[in-house]
Amino acid sequence: MSYVGQYWNQTGFDLWEETDGSSFFTLQNQHRALVEGAQLAKNLHVTCTGCGQAPELLCFLQSFWNGAHIVSNINVNNGRTGLDANSILGPIAVFDIDADCDSLTWQPCHGQSLANFKVLTDTFRTLYAINKDIEEGQGAAIGRYPEDVYMGGNPWLVQGLPTSH
């Protein structure tokens, strides 16, 4: 636990291991680890070195919101919009059934999480031909981020998985 508590405010790689900066997804999960580590330490009657950094990390997480959507990677100059599917995966990964939707932990039902999801989805609606005839309000294919060029930048299709009979 002391590793996360000691180094959370240093830059590192994002979920896709492509961007070195401050990653929304990574920091969200680090915050959750510190909170759960503090609770575990309390239950075991031991000290969690570094877990006291959780409130600072949670405060820093708020800086990823730009007024319209979550900028998934900050403290980086990679030419991207900041729109990224990791901003959807983060809230899912840290989902807490007991947390309020307005929690600063950015739960999936948080107003800004939902607004971010709409902006990201609408971006891919116009970007991918597969979404051409899908009406707004219906599910659409999304990718990692709009500027993605890996494997053609398209939504990924997993092939070769065994089928059940």
The residues assigned a catalytic role are: 14, 17
Buried b (16+ CB within 10 A) or exposed e, 37-66: bbeeeeeeeeebebbebbeebbebbeebbe
Q: How far apart are CA 43 and CA 39, in angstroms?
A: 6
Residue 71 vs residues 94, 122, 145: alpha-carbon distances, Å: 18, 16, 11
Please say whether the beta carbons of 85 and 35 come within 8 A. no
* Amino acid letter for position 125: R
Q: How far apart are CA 46 and CA 5, in angstroms?
A: 16
Cβ neighbours of residue 105 under 8 Å, at least 6 residues apart?
Answer: 28, 31, 32, 58, 61, 94, 96, 99
Please say whether the beta carbons of 29 and 23 come within 8 A. no
